[in-house]
């Protein structure tokens, strides 16, 4: 695709790994340049990539404030780019929104489904680690996360315990999918194991600390007793997956960590599966969330949630909506 060719919202959503509603909100806010062709909203690849580049800078962050709907919070632990998407992007509903933090498209799907049944929901777009921090701080009511813990060989529950100490939470399973290496077609460096990253001449396109892909990589390197700093490119910091993948697609790097769905955005990239990861919804058990919790279980089992998850690509939905942990 040439940089000046038009893309629709669905194509932009796939490119950025976001939900289509989030793309519309970014356009509405002016953060992502857009154009009206007749009644249809269109984007160019050049403007989409300009938006990706803009997220590399530390701009003021917006989040939900219980007092005045929108207020600032610290850029915080993972130093991740964040954006607040208010409930108006999903529908004009009355009442304080149920704030879902996280960067996975599943959060958009859940927010849309809740709004469809009359529950105002909004989004705080950020990495998994920071999402849990904001849930603990009270700036989010729920967090969609996929964080791997090497010690227990499990996902999400250890982080909910450690990042929200003493807090009462309920964790709903969403879906499983594969994480692995994203490499150039033919896998020229023959990368098939985590230890392969340690070979001389392998260039990594890394992600920022706190995002799920970086956490997975660091946990795997720790299990190998590997010196991460010896990996060429380990100290590179791509804020979003598309930027990390572009380095591989253009030959600047040999490998990035990601999913098959992310790899499919570029015709010259392929995916090497290494790890099954679980994406879960962590919900704070507190007075403000009780009414939503009563609706949430049914919503997660609804047809629109399942169809939305299936649209994200190959994933395991066998445990969708089940409660895997409660404190």
The shares of helix, strand and coil residues in the chain, as percent rounded to the nearest 5, are 35, 25, 40
Distances, alpha carbon 319 to alpha carbons 232, 278, 302, in Å: 39, 10, 13
Q: Judge whether residue 56 has pLDDT over 50.
A: no
Q: Are strands 121-125 and 98-101 parallel, antiparallel or unpaired?
A: parallel
Do residue 59 and residue 125 come from a single domain? yes
> Is residue 200 a part of any domain in this protein?
yes
Q: Judge whether residue 11 has pLDDT over 50.
A: yes
Do residue 65 and residue 212 come from a single domain? no
Q: Residue 10 has what pLDDT? A: 85
Do residue 193 and residue 242 come from a single domain? yes
Do residue 283 and residue 271 come from a single domain? no
> Is residue 17 a part of any domain in this protein?
yes
Q: Give me the CATH number covering residue 320.
A: 3.40.190.10
Q: Residue 140 has what pLDDT? A: 92
Do residue 27 and residue 73 come from a single domain? yes
> Is residue 236 a part of any domain in this protein?
yes
Q: Give the structural domain span for 242.
A: 178-276
Please tell me what DSSP assigns to residue 10: H
- 241-295 pLDDT per residue, tens: 888 899 999 999 999 999 998 898 889 999 999 999 999 999 999 988 888 988 8
Comparing 178 with 117, the larger pLDDT belongs to 178
Q: Residue 117 has what pLDDT? A: 87
- 182-201 pLDDT per residue, tens: 999 999 999 999 999 999 99
Do residue 191 and residue 117 come from a single domain? no
Do residue 184 and residue 250 come from a single domain? yes
**Mean per-residue pLDDT over the chain, rounded:** 83
Mean pLDDT, rounded, for 34-61: 66
> Is residue 11 a part of any domain in this protein?
yes
Q: Residue 82 has what pLDDT? A: 45
User: How many domains, the chain?
Assistant: 2
Assess contact for 224 and 253: CB atoms under 8 A: no
37: β partners = 40
Q: Locate tokens 């990390």: which residue?
A: 244
Could you give the residue ranges of the DSSP H alpha helices within 4-127? 9-16, 20-29, 45-54, 105-116
Q: Judge whether residue 15 has pLDDT over 90.
A: no
- Tell me the two tokens of residue 282: 């962590």
Do residue 167 and residue 198 come from a single domain? no
Q: Judge whether residue 60 has pLDDT over 70.
A: no
- Tell me the two tokens of residue 51: 């938006």
> Is residue 71 a part of any domain in this protein?
yes
Q: Judge whether residue 309 has pLDDT over 90.
A: no
> Can you say whether the dihedral through the CA atoms of 113, 214, 125, 66 is positive or negative?
positive
3-class secondary-structure state, position 232 = strand
Do residue 113 and residue 251 come from a single domain? no
Do residue 122 and residue 72 come from a single domain? yes
Residue 80's φ and ψ, nearest 5 degrees, are -95, 150
Residue (of 158, 160, 119) closest to 143 by Cα position? 160
How many other CB atoms are there within 10 angstroms of residue 93's CB atom? 16
> Is residue 1 a part of any domain in this protein?
no
Do residue 45 and residue 88 come from a single domain? yes
Q: Residue 4 has what pLDDT? A: 54
- 64-123 pLDDT per residue, tens: 333 333 222 223 333 334 444 444 344 444 456 899 999 888 998 999 899 888 888 888
Please tell me what DSSP assigns to residue 237: -
Do residue 207 and residue 68 come from a single domain? no
Could you give the residue ranges of the DSSP H alpha helices within 30-174? 45-54, 105-116, 128-137, 157-163
Q: Residue 236 has what pLDDT? A: 82
- 124-169 pLDDT per residue, tens: 888 899 999 999 999 899 999 999 999 999 999 999 999 988 889 9
Q: Residue 326 has what pLDDT? A: 94
Residue (of 146, 95, 145, 142) closest to 123 by Cα position? 142
């Amino acid at each position: 695709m040439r940089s000046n060719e038009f893309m629709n919202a669905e194509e932009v959503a796939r490119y950025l790994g976001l939900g289509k509603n989030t793309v519309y909100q970014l356009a509405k806010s002016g953060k992502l340049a857009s154009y009206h062709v007749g009644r249809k909203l269109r984007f160019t690849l050049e403007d989409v990539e300009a938006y990706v580049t803009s997220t590399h800078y530390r701009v003021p962050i917006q989040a939900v404030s219980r007092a005045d709907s929108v207020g600032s919070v610290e850029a915080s632990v993972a130093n991740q780019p964040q954006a607040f998407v208010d409930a108006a992007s999903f529908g004009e509903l009355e009442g304080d929104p149920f704030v879902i933090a996280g960067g996975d498209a599943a959060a958009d799907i859940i927010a849309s489904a809740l709004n469809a049944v009359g529950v105002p929901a909004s989004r705080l777009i950020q990495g998994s680690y920071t999402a849990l921090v904001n849930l603990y701080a009270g700036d989010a009511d729920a967090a969609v996360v996929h964080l791997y813990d090497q010690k227990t060989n499990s996902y999400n529950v250890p982080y909910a315990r450690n990042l929200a100490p003493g807090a009462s939470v309920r964790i709903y399973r969403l879906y499983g999918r594969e994480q692995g290496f994203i490499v150039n077609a033919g896998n020229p460096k023959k990368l098939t194991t985590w230890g392969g990253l340690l070979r001389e001449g392998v260039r990594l396109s890394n992600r920022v600390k706190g995002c799920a892909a970086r956490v997975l990589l660091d946990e795997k390197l720790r299990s190998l007793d590997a010196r991460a700093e010896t990996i060429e490119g380990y100290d590179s910091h791509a804020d979003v997956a598309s930027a990390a993948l572009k380095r591989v697609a253009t030959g600047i790097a040999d490998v990035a960590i990601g999913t098959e769905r992310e790899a499919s955005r570029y015709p010259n990239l392929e995916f090497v599966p290494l790890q099954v990861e679980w994406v879960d919804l962590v919900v704070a058990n507190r007075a403000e969330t009780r009414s939503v919790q009563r609706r949430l279980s049914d919503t997660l089992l609804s047809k629109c949630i399942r169809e939305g998850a299936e649209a994200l690509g190959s994933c395991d939905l066998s445990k969708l909506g089940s409660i895997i942990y409660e404190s």
